[in-house]
Structures are given as C-alpha cells and as structure tokens.
C-alpha cells in the first residue's frame, strides 16, 4: 500500500506523540529507539533522529549533552509545549480509536 501524504502525516503524528510521551522522562536517542520498538513502534535511526531534531527545532523537545560518560550522549526531554502537543495528539488518537470501535461494534 502506497503512503499517501495524509496517511504518512497521520503515521508521523502517531510516532511523534509516542516520542513526546516517552521523553517526559529524559532519554537519549538509542534508548528511545529500543523503548519504541519494545512498545510496538518499530522504526530505525534514519527515521527517529530527524524527527527528534525537528521536534527540538519546533521547541517540543529540549536537549543537553551528557559528556560525563566515555561516549557523549544527547539527552532529550519533552518541553512544556511538547507535553501540551502530546496530550492533544493522544486525545485525538483516543477519539479516533473510539469512533473506529463503534464501527466494528456495529458489525458484530
């Protein structure tokens, strides 16, 4: 199935919402990648890191470098604006899920 721009946009919003929700607790990219996969949001680094940079540029995420370990890591955290966006996206998703459930309930 081809990815229409509307379908891709919906997928990106769902993926962004998952990142924003998980990064309410600070985390670094690779750890987030593993956690997303564990929760059923399989993706790769080539998708995740550009999204993290875009969310940071839009001020939905903040970041800081941790250089105390042998390998420096950039830690991300959801900003106040990101929390509001995540809450809105989650409510939209829940409303859509409820609407879809009424369709499947009618078939049974």
Q: Give alpha helix (H) positions in 23-79.
A: 29-38, 45-57
Pairwise CA distance, residues 92 & 16, whole Å = 13
Helix axes 80-107, 5-22, angle to 10 degrees: 120
Phi and psi for 104 in degrees, rounded to 5?
-75, -30
Pairwise CA distance, residues 108 & 104, whole Å = 7
Pairwise CA distance, residues 106 & 58, whole Å = 41
pTM tops 0.85, yes or no: no
Residue 24: DSSP 8-state:
T
Q: How do the pLDDT tens digits run along the chain, 108 residues long? A: 445 556 556 677 888 999 999 999 999 999 999 999 999 988 899 999 999 999 999 999 999 999 888 889 999 999 999 999 999 999 998 998 899 999 987 655
Pairwise CA distance, residues 38 & 8, whole Å = 22
């Amino acid at each position: 199935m081809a990815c229409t721009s509307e379908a891709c946009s919906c997928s990106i919003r769902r993926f962004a919402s998952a990142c924003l929700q998980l990064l309410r607790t600070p985390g670094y990219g690779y750890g987030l990648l593993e956690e997303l996969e564990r929760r059923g949001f399989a993706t790769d680094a080539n998708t995740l890191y550009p999204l993290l940079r875009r969310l940071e540029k839009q001020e939905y995420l903040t970041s800081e470098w941790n250089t105390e370990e042998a390998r420096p890591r950039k830690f991300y955290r959801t900003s106040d604006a990101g929390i509001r966006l995540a809450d809105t996206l989650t409510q939209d998703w829940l409303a859509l899920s409820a609407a879809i459930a009424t369709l499947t309930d009618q078939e049974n």
